[in-house]
Structure 1
Amino acid sequence: MDSEPFIFSSSDRALQWVDLCSKALAAPREDVATMLANLCCFGSWDVMIYAIESLPPSSTDEELDLPGVVARLKHQMLVLTNEYGLDELLASFLLAHLSPTSNRQYKAFTAEDDPELTPQSRAAFHAVFSREEDGGGESGDGKIDVSVIPFMTHPDPYRCSVVMDLCGETSPPNWEWIFDRLGWDFDFCDEEHPDLDEPACLIFDDELGDVPIYFTGLYGPPLDCATLESDRANRLQRAMCVGDFLTYRQDCAGVALLLKRWPQAKQIGDQVFCHIGSAYERESNSWRDLLCNMRCTSISRLLELNKAVVDINAGHNAIADGHGHFLQLSSVSLSGIDPEDLEVLIEEGRITLVQSTHQDSGWTLQRYLIDGIDL
């Protein structure tokens, strides 16, 4: 996970947070308790309480340098917006009043309050999305220069939603197990965290040559034309990849892959299909969403099998995932679990399958947790 687990100074303070937030959002206490556990990088309330009672408390925001606070805030914003569907202004408003990782006194608020960003939370929000290491509203001692706060533009929620979607982790190393099992000859680039418009690795294909592989934190079902038109984050991600591919990868193959953070599965009749991402083809200047199975022993084979697919939502026998073997491999690997450890984890009862089905399309996102915690 990107952030370290945060351990409260006491369970009473955690319970106070749950009570105030539950009243503010008019949400069940059980749901808010789980949300707080997720904000603190725990898989459940029970695990978080056990940690509070067993381990020393974590350093609060006031004890950290600015990069540490920004990393926490980024994680908290992602949890509130991506996992719980809060808009950016309400999420920032909540964190300004009920910061779980600060030692400040909690401030109650209600749904009737106007969720405008305070100067302090606006500055912190700006810091999260600023790519500048020097400047960008920061003074030399690592603290935010409050003199520039009046000149900061207010974040546009319409555009912030795109940024938040794209900020999700990609975890390229987790794909190594998948590439190995498929027999793909891969070479990861030197950058540990490549930018969104940079390939994280190259796959050498006997027929195609070097194929750049981009990764995205976005997830979701395959995109038809109507969905893509309204999905600003996916449009932006694809545009960035095309820009890099056409400008800097002219010596590479005529195709590039954009792989998603999690696999999507759909059962059609008695067959299972697994969606992993999309391919851009230079010659036709077009994207194609991809299905994959264990017979895709090369990228050229992957593309060849997908040619039989007229409608990805209908699948095709040629690319069906027999017995769900590829779905299992990708779900385990992309959850950060070595597939060789799966049988032992199942026997010990330590692994949990988590699924979420997209109601309109029927595609299901799935991943695994160990001991109820993200790896």
Structure 2
Amino acid sequence: MRTEGGGGGGHDLRHHGDAEVRDDGAALVDLAVNVRADTPPPWLREEIAGSLAGLAAYPDGRAARAAVAARHGLPVERVLLTAGAAEAFVLLARALKVRRPVVVHPQFTEPEAALRDAGHTVDRVVLRAADGFRLDPAAVPESADLVVIGNPTNPTSVLHPAAAVAGLARPGRVLVVDEAFMDAVPGEREALAGRTDVPGLVVLRSLTKTWGLAGLRIGYVLAEPGIVAELERAQPLWPVSTPALTAAEACVSPRALAEAGHAAHRVAADRAHLVAGLARFADRGVRVAGPAEGPFVLVRMPGAAEVRHRLRALGYAVRRGDTFPGLDENWIRLAVRDRHTADVFLKALSAALL
């Protein structure tokens, strides 16, 4: 684990998994984007379609905001609806007056990119593969007044203990925890969403991953009312569309939560199947970072950049790892898919390995 100063380090912080799928328009099996396959479900599509009759009116987020608050047992003053979690990172970077932001890497790169775009100098705490990419709260500088960490973390799939993450909180510090994939963890264990006893806590949630709504853009912020008010002032008018508000309300309903819970258990089983298959290539240098707890796995292999190109030629898109600070060209990230897809992919990987 090491701390890095404010330079960008040469990483392409704006590169995301969708670029792997759409680069040349090829028909590829998508293991690069962390959106659950076969989503949104038909009932959710029907809910969203039903909202189209109301498009002549300006969006009214009150019902969706109240539904999200009820889902987490919070007052509505602690909830802010956003156009995906990515908007929340931009709002945090622009609205909060911070002097020394720190981002814990490897993780989703958009928080650091947003901070840099807003003129901030960003320090990094880089977790090491040799330590299992586990968090050591003592590695975060005491002077940091904004700390950003993912849980479970993209791309490492590490689920940090809630106590360790909450231990990063300090008076005068904003602690941002990206829980975009927490609903893919059975029981959402280690979640901080809904906690009001952690000072300066800001939890971000996305509804685009589990429900297949990346094109609709819907997420939310959970924070103390003062922070929510600051972020809301930085938002444009009507930032979340009527269809997205309808989706938000639907995705926190009891029916949806039950379905997400079942999906989380299915993803865990499918992930175990994929990891077991990857273990068969250990003698060829393939290593899975772990234990993986998210709907994706991080894999190290010799010559991963060339393997990735060979997989593409065989019809598979996987996420390159070298755009994440703390990783190099020998890493790739794989989204968890059903067992049949995993088995066919593993055959392709056997052919693609150097």
Same fold (TM over 0.5): no
Greater gyration radius: 1
Relative to the length of structure 2, the TM-score reads: 0.28
Using CA pairs below 8 Å that are at least 6 residues apart, which structure has the higher relative contact order? Answer: 2
